Structure 1
Amino acid sequence: MAIDRTLQALLNPGEAEDFFSLAAGVTFESSVCDRFLPANALWLAEFCRLIYRQELDEVASRPAGHRTRRQWLTSHGWTEATGHHFQAGTTRASLFTRPAGDVAVLVFRGTLGPGDFLIDLQVPLRPWTG
């Protein structure tokens, strides 16, 4: 599978049509939560891309055949909890779970457009205390 390295893919990850292609054949290990696991990192990276997928409650229309976040998740054994767990403007969070109930991932979406970059710049800087 070729990786989309275009500027468009970087700036608008929600418009991708290849979610979970990098995680194909890789199982999310819910029992491993105390260390880095490359397989889980692939899944988490895909969740971070998928949360940028805008749904009909955010945009006026979608082309025929548009797959929603829920459709992408369901086809890979996950679900998105009903409702948004956090929403302020275009910043939001959703909860992705597996039907077995063995894992839940709270995924945040922040910067989505030029206006959000201005908001990001208003965050006060704090020294890192390690």
Structure 2
Amino acid sequence: MVQNAIVKRIVQPGVAEVSLLRQMECGLHCDGACAGCSQKPKEEILALASNSIGAQPGDHVEVEPTSRHNIGISVVAFGVPCVGLGMGYVLGQSLLGLGEGMALLTAVAGLAVGCLPAILMNRAMVRSAAPEFSILKFLR
């Protein structure tokens, strides 16, 4: 998904910090004053982008997310907790012979255990400080 952004600062050679401009249904032709723009983010959304075109602070650019590991991250974030939920229920109901209520508690425990890989992956991604976007071209 291609987005518009403004380059805020150069972090290091080849990497820039960009402010992502969220695109609304109306295109913000009304300067955000209409009732339809109630979902407009209140604060700036900053991200790192690889800067192969040499954009400077203040430049309006077009960026796209890097395509590395997107499907794998989605599976870990959404699929693994669902599998944990199902396995927790099956473990409680069939293998441990618990009643319906207790099996639901083991399902919740399975969901919590299934969320751990997503939480750990999120922390690792935040610490890595690798660019999440690539700058494609100048807009203005």
TM-score class, shorter-chain normalisation, is: under 0.3
The structure with more helix, counted as a fraction of residues = 2
The structure with more strand, counted as a fraction of residues = 2
Bigger RCO of structures 1 and 2 (CA < 8 A, at least 6 apart): 2
- Structure 1 or 2, whichever has the larger Rg, is 2
